[in-house]
Structure formats: C-alpha cells, structure tokens
Amino acid sequence: MIELRTYVFIDSLQPQLASYMGTVSMGFLPVSGDSCLWMEVAPGMAVHHLSDIALKASNVHLGQQVVERSYGSMVIHHRDQSDVLESSAHVLRFLKTEHTTRQPCKVMWNEVIRAITPDHATLINRERRGSMVLPGQSMLIMETEPAGYIIYAANEAEKASNITLVEARAVGAYGRLIMVGKEADVLEASRAATEALKRI
C-alpha cells in the first residue's frame, strides 16, 4: 500500500522560491508564477509510477524526483494551474484517496534569531544554495515533518514579507527553512509561514 505523506499544491511560485528550486532541480526548471505540486509517498520507489501517471495526464513538467530509502518525492509544475490539478487528480484516483489523507504537518522547530553575527553568517553561507546571510540581519529557522511542507511555508512567507530566502530543503526526515531580513520582516514571515502550515 502506498502512503501519501505530503501533498502540497502551490498556486503561484514566488520568485525566490522558484529560483531556489531551480538550483536543485534535476528536471525541467520551474519559473516564477508556475503552479506546482509537491508530493511525497512511502515507499520511495512508488514515486516512479506516480510520476508516470502525472506526466501522461496533462502537460505538466517534472521538476524533480527524489527516491530515498523510505520516501519518494516528486515535483510537477506548469504555468496553467488546471494542468497541475488534472495530473494530481489522476494520481489521487490511482491511490484511491484524497489529499486530505496526507500526513499532518508537524512544525518541529520555529525560531527567530536576531542580529546574526559575522561568524554565524559566514558558516551558514558556506552551505546555502539560496541568497547569502548578511551580518546584522535577523533569521527565521523552521523545520517541518514531513519535509515537503517546508516548500509551502517558504512560498507563503515570501508572499507575505520582504524576506530573503537562504535555504528551503524539502527532502529527508525534516524540511528545513532559513530566511533572513529586517527583524520586522522576519517576524511577519514567521507568522505567515506558521499560519499557512496550520491550514494544511
């Protein structure tokens, strides 16, 4: 039996998140404004069949497919929301389920660190794929379980606040998000991300 761990539909990818996803994408690159579906299932190998179903159902592009030992995830995207929704409907019908059966999101960590020191900023920057942290900025760090929900948190935070995306890692045991900016902007991003995850 295939377990639906994560199901995240994004109506419009924000510019920073779309660019960040492009740095790790092994498939067709998403662009700002694309509609997107992030899905994670267990066992991991099942994601190959689900990707095949999604790609044959509409004109969507496969942005990423990751097969881990326990979990598999796929990202499909298209400019037209109806294509993404059509493909996702086909996948859910195959699974004989609805998106509401997805695993609930748990926020494992949510913290704002104010006025980052130069040493701390340098260490974070060595591992990042997004923008750099500047000394003196405040930083939002967040973790979710399952990992894929962090994409939704990042997109909603970017919609709500003038924030800089440093990291949005959505595979593995936990999803990890790092965003930086002025303290007020970071606090607003944290609020928006938290409220978005509560709606899942």
Q: Which of 148, 124, 167 is nearest to 16 (CA)?
A: 167
Rg (CA), the chain: 16
For the domain bounded by 106-198, which CATH number is listed? 3.30.70.1710
d(CA 176, CA 190): 13
Torsion of CA 129, 66, 154, 93, to 10 degrees: 160
> For residue 182, what are its two tokens?
């002025």
Burial class (CB in 10 A: 0-12, 13-18, 19+), 72: buried
Q: Which of 130, 110, 128 is nearest to 197 (CA)?
A: 110
CATH class of the 3-101 domain in this structure: alpha beta
In total, the chain counts a number of residues equal to 200
pLDDT in tens, 139-158: 999 999 999 999 999 999 99
d(CA 137, CA 164): 10
Are the folds of 3-101 and 106-198 the same? yes
Res. 173 pLDDT band, cuts 50 70 90: confident
- Percent of all residues in the chain with a pLDDT value above 70, rounded to a whole number: 100
* Residue 69 confidence (pLDDT): 80
d(CA 192, CA 162): 12
Contact call for residues 88 and 37 (beta carbons, < 8 A): yes
* Helix extents (H) in 41-129: 47-57, 81-95, 118-125
Q: Model pTM?
A: 0.91
* Residue 153 confidence (pLDDT): 97
Ordered by start, the domain boundaries in the chain are 3-101, 106-198
Contact call for residues 33 and 174 (beta carbons, < 8 A): no
Q: Which amino acid is at 189?
A: A
pLDDT in tens, 65-89: 999 888 999 999 999 999 999 999 9
d(CA 19, CA 64): 14
